[in-house]
A and B are shown apart, each in its own frame.
Chain A
Amino acid sequence: MSVLAIDVRDVHKVYRRYGRRKNFGTLKSALLGGRVAADLRPDATFEALSGVSFQVEAGRTVGIIGRNGSGKSTLLKLLAGIGRTTSGSLDVTGRVSALIELGAGFHPEISGRENIYINGMMMGLSKRQVAERFDAIVAFAGIGDFIEAPVKTYSSGMYMRLGFSVAIHVDPDVLLVDEVLAVGDEAFTHKCLDRFAELRRKGKTIVLVTHTLDLVTRLCDEVLWLDGGTLRAQGDPKRVVDAYLLDVAAAEDRAAGAAARLAPSAEPAQDMTKVAEGRWGSREAEVTHVELRHADGRAGHVFQSGETVDVVMTVQTPRPLTDFVFGVAVYSADGVCCYGTNTHIEGATPQELTGVGEVIFRFDALDLVEGTYRLDVAVHRADGVPYDYHRLLYAFRVASPLKDVGFFRPKHAWSFSGGIRIVGPGLNRDGK
């Protein structure tokens, strides 16, 4: 086993939460009540990390993923030496540089040059070391002549780039990065990734906290998944990220299900012109239940792009009808109609509707790009007069590993010939 760069053993971190008493009481009441010591004790506590243990070998790149509030940043701060663990031990070997907040400690009134020196020295470099790296720092940040101008005149992008540049030139043994790659333009992001690659080649350890999951799978040797202050999984990036995505989808499913159950509880509207919220019609026929199902019959609200999906409506009528049309339409989250059709458009002739029936509309392949969509379902007369129209009452989500854009994903394939050589996972997918 090679050298450990990070050794975290059963780390707990408890944050204090002070109640009202502290906020309004302050020094006076503390002194009067003779309870200075008591007021320095917290009223309540919040455990941000509860028993996290893991090890990272030197030279590895490790990603930390997890929902907001799962303890990622707390863990990173502890690794950076900011704050102390409540219990447990945490050892980091070598010089640590933390990119937690870029440009923290920049003074707005003084020049970029002076700020580079002060920032560099705060991160543990000597004045000489900063001087040696000065040109490289400026070049990497792409600040140019602005280096002599006060930092307050910088654009936010320049500010961040300078902060990033200083931190990365500290030449750390362990680099801690907290969701900072989003700050620059494309070109800068590429420069940062190149720099990470260079650090990796030099055998440095990198810990990356991010929500950009494809970055994690691309860059990291190993992924930690934090959930509610505990370590849910550690290991191969693809495996852990997929497990995380599944968990997120399941949670979304539960949330979407809760929302959908709430939605169609509109009052029955007797007057067909009267629009109840999102639902109207004469109710001579009624859609009593709508459900989205996976191909295997499970009801759901989150589907993979391309999956077979059934829209199932239960229809009920108090007296037999001969003039009826069933319709379905899919809208994007911002209200654009992606697709709509009904039995009338498709040339079906209604014969009779009595009692209760079930209508299944099947998408053989739900070829939509990732996003949230809403569904209209309706039963109405051939001339369009509605019996029961449900407007955007049902939401579902399409998930996709690809980040293509638009609404509709036609079946497609790329092919190349002549002097073009190009490979990639996306290209073999459809045939090639």
Chain B
Amino acid sequence: MLASLKQLLRYRALVGSLVARELKARYRGSVLGFLWTFVNPLLLLLVYTFVFSVVMPGARAPGLEPYSLFLFCGILPWTWFSSSLLESCTALTGSGSLLRKVMFPAEILPLVTVLTGLVNFCLGLVILAAFTVYSGLPFFTADLVWLPVIVLVQLAWTLGLALLLSALSVHFRDIRDLLGNLMTLWFFATPIVYPYTQAPERFRPLLDLNPFTHIAGAYQDVLFVGGRYSPGSRLALVGVVAVLVLAVGYGVFDRLRDTFAEEV
């Protein structure tokens, strides 16, 4: 496993190029091109603004204004998380010819998926910052120094699960379909469209078990509220578990590595 990691390090330039390729190729042929990376979260933000100010203004929790920005703070990292996991299911199975014909570390494929999501997430943050400032709220608070830590914790979680899912998907193709529904459930089981404080008391222990509750909460505290974030032991615990997940995910991936070329 250590040797595999060392080899991965050798291929880091390739990872960079592949991420750039993914970003470029995704919108190739469209009129706006790379701008879509910005336009997509922008439109998403506008949709939520419309829904919570015109369609159902009563649904928003009190005291969180503008509500669409609060939503956005949770949805941005969630989009990164869920799209990475969903795409990782096909990261290996969709690259059969590559795995069968070219010798290179296969973990690059799910890694690129997750990192591409990270870049999109960062670009989404730019939109978020612009809108926060536009709304007259402070964005650049001292809390922002914690942002990289939260991103790292999420990265470890996402990568660990992506490695696990991509490897298992080679053997069980139905994981993708199962996961699609599971992610919808997970989305609503996480305080994203509602604040944690609004969840009924008796469900809170359950919510606490959900790692993404703490990750989304941290983002909301740092990006939306600002100025009151103190990284509690919870985030540290989530971080430790994240490293464990990453280790297990990579371990499983490494175990199944030899079967990929034959099974994809």
Residues of A whose CB lies within 8 Å of any CB of B are 15-16, 26-28, 30, 39-40, 77, 80-84, 96, 98, 100-101, 104-105, 107, 109-110, 114, 117-118, 121-124, 126-127, 150
Contacts and interface: CB of A to CB of B under 8 A. Distances in A.
A107 B174 contact: no
B3 interface: no
B175 A27 contact: yes
Contacts of A81: 103
B262 interface: yes
24 contacts: A15-B262, A27-B178, A80-B103, A82-B101, A84-B258, A96-B103, A98-B101, A100-B101, A100-B102, A101-B97, A104-B97, A104-B98, A104-B100, A104-B102, A105-B101, A107-B21, A109-B24, A114-B21, A114-B24, A118-B21, A121-B11, A122-B14, A123-B104, A126-B13
A30 to B, nearest CB: 7
Nearest to B11: A121
Nearest to A115: B21
Contacts of A15: 262
Nearest to B168: A27
Interface in B159-184: 171-175, 178
A179 to B, nearest CB: 13
B24 A110 contact: yes
Contacts of B261: 77, 82-83
A104 B101 contact: yes
A98 B24 CA distance: 28
Nearest to A167: B102
B103 A121 contact: no
A98 B25 contact: no
Contact of A82 (B11, B95, B103, B174): B103
Interface of B: 10-11, 13-14, 17-18, 21, 24-25, 28-29, 95, 97-104, 171-175, 178, 258, 261-262
A40 B252 CA distance: 13
Contact of B97 (A105, A109, A118, A150): A105
A82 B100 contact: yes
A39 B95 CA distance: 23
Given A98-B101, A100-B101, A101-B101, A40 B171 contact: yes
A122 B103 CA distance: 8
Contacts of B95: 105
Contacts of A126: 13
A114 B14 CA distance: 11
Which A-B residue pairs are the 6 nearest by beta carbons? A121-B14, A104-B101, A101-B101, A109-B25, A27-B172, A81-B103
A150 B29 CA distance: 10
Contact of B17 (A80, A109, A118): A118
Contacts of B11: 121
A409 B59 CA distance: 91
Contacts of B13: 121, 126-127
A10 B102 CA distance: 24
Contact of A105 (B24, B98, B175, B262): B98
Contacts of A109: 24-25, 28-29
A82 B102 CA distance: 7
Given A26-B172, A26-B173, A109-B28, A118 B14 contact: yes
B262 A16 contact: yes
Contacts of B258: 83-84
Contacts of B174: 26-28
B222 to A, nearest CB: 35
Given A82-B261, A126-B13, 11 more contacts: A39-B171, A80-B103, A81-B103, A82-B101, A101-B100, A104-B97, A104-B101, A109-B25, A110-B25, A122-B102, A123-B102
Contacts of A114: 17, 21, 24
B103 A98 contact: yes
Given A83-B258, A107-B25, A109-B25, A127 B103 contact: no
A296 B24 CA distance: 72
A429 B101 CA distance: 44
Contacts of A27: 172, 174-175, 178
A398 B137 CA distance: 89
B116 to A, nearest CB: 13
